[in-house]
Every structure is written in structure tokens, then in C-alpha cells.
Amino acid sequence: MHKLSTLAAALAVGSLISLPVLAADEAPAEAAAATKPAAAKSKGGGVFATVNGVAIPQSAADAFISEQKAQGAPEGAELRNAVREELIRRELLAQEAKKKGLDKQAAIAIQADLARQAIYVRAFIQDYVKKHPISDETLKADYDKIKAQLGGSEYKTRHILVEKEDDAKAIIAKLKGGAKFEDLAKQSKDPGSKDNGGDLGWGSPANYVKPFADALTKLQKGKFSETPVKTEFGYHVILQEDARPLTPPPFDAIKPQLAQRAQQQQIEKMVNDLRSKAKVE
């Protein structure tokens, strides 16, 4: 029995449960070529392997190898052999599926259409991103904008959130009477902080909704808000425990995240533009 190397075994296990990795513009052609005799030639330049008389086009193997290399697999004979074994196994299983008539089942045909559609979508997005690169000037402008939004200080904050204004006023009265903020925070309706004394940790005012941020920045260190602060979530009693200068990370350190964010926004805008122009019934 043929023995796979470690790489081949790992590739087979991981790939047999995933979608075929084919270049989007070649997927339909390769699917058609795979049903023709071994003498058939794919537009990729030849036949990679033949399984029971069915050709696996070289272009499919090339695409698969490129995908594995992009994921970190080392170039070499071991990778090529692993891909060969994987594509042979796939073809064998596909042939068995067709013998059982699975390719004629409506639900499976729909899944195949969705998989093909996903390949087109991925290829289009990759092509769009390649043709619409984000400039360093744009990323730097985004960086400066975010820095300005964050402000020059960050605060260590606690809060107590309640439903009614009168409840907030009652809490403020107890605080003025000497009650501990941490103890009163147990009645907060904020599940993320109520069991931790209302602690929100260190954060920029930009992390909070505007009424909360405005009230927080007006407080002095160690002081709590003496009037309830209303937001869309309810009424807050806010304690500013401490403040310190905010030092954002340098541009180069977060440039990859900025680029990813900008690309996502660019793609979202493109999709929204297409959606607005589409005739949908």
C-alpha cells in the first residue's frame, strides 16, 4: 500500500474535508476537463494525472501547489507528491459520488453552485484589493484621525448603571454619606463590571458614548459624578479613579491593522455601491 509522507498525510487529512482550491477563473473549465478522457488538454498546458481514464489538469495541480505554498508549505518534491496524492484521492471519491448519483441530487447541486460562487467572490475581492491599493498617505491620515479622537489622556474608570434616574440619585446620596463605590456597584445592571466594583479599567474617552465621555473628562481624579449621567443604556454614576497621558503606538507598529481596516471599509463601500445600483426584486 502506498505510504504518504508526513506532509502528504497532513495535506490529505486537511484537504479532503475542505473545498477544492482552484483559481476562480479556471474552476469551471477544470471541472469540465476533469470529466474528459486522459487525452484531453487543459488550458493550463497538460494533464497532471489520470484516474480511471479521467484527466486531472496540470493547471489544477499548479493552483493547489500555489495555495499550499502560500500557507507555508515548503517548495519541493514532497509537496508535489502530496498534492498529486490528494488530487488522486479527490478524483476517486468524486467518481464514487457520481456512481451513486450524488451529483444529481438537488441539495448537492446547490452546494456545488454556492462553492463555485464563493470562489468567484474570493477571486473578485482579491483582484479588487490588488487594483485598489491603500496608500501610505491614506493610512497616515487615518492614524492621525484616530489619534485625535483618542485625545491626550486616558482614565481609570468605575461606574454604576441603573434603570431609573431616582435610583442613580439615591446611589449618589449614599456615596456622599460615605458608602463605598465598590459595594454599591453590586446593584449595577452592567454585567461586565458589577461584580468587579464597577471597574472599567483604563480607557480613552473615545471608548465611551459621548454623554459618558463628556462627564468623565470633567471629573477630577478621585471624584464621582454628583448628578446622574443619562445615556442610551440608562443612568450612570461615574468615578474617575485616575488619569494619565495617553501614548498611542507608533504608526509603523499598527500599520498592518490600519491597512486591513481600510481595505475592509473600501470593500464594504464597493459592495454597498453595487447594491444601490442593483435591480433587486
7-49: pLDDT as tens digits: 444 444 444 433 333 333 333 333 333 333 333 344 446 999 9
- For 205, residues 6+ apart whose C-beta sits below 8 A from its C-beta are 151, 153, 155, 213, 214, 216, 217
The answer to whether residues 152 and 246 touch, using CB atoms and an 8 Å cutoff, is: yes
pLDDT tens for 146-177 read 888 888 899 999 999 999 999 999 999 999 99
pTM score: 0.59
What percent of the chain stands above pLDDT 70? Answer: 84
- CA count, 13 A, side-chain hemisphere, 221: 7
**CB atoms < 10 A from the CB of 279, how many?**
4
Q: CA–CA separation, 44 vs 26, rounded Å?
A: 9
Of 40-54, 90-104, 138-152, which range is least confident?
40-54
Q: CA–CA separation, 176 vs 227, rounded Å?
A: 12
Q: CA–CA separation, 102 vs 109, rounded Å?
A: 9
The answer to whether residues 260 and 175 touch, using CB atoms and an 8 Å cutoff, is: no
**Quick one: cell of 253?**
507598529
Q: Alpha helix (H) ranges present in the chain?
A: 6-15, 27-33, 58-70, 77-99, 106-131, 136-150, 165-176, 181-184, 210-218, 251-277
What percent of the chain stands above pLDDT 90? Answer: 78
Dihedral pair phi/psi, residue 108, rounded to 5°: -75, -35
The answer to whether residues 198 and 159 touch, using CB atoms and an 8 Å cutoff, is: yes
Q: CA–CA separation, 15 vs 83, rounded Å?
A: 10
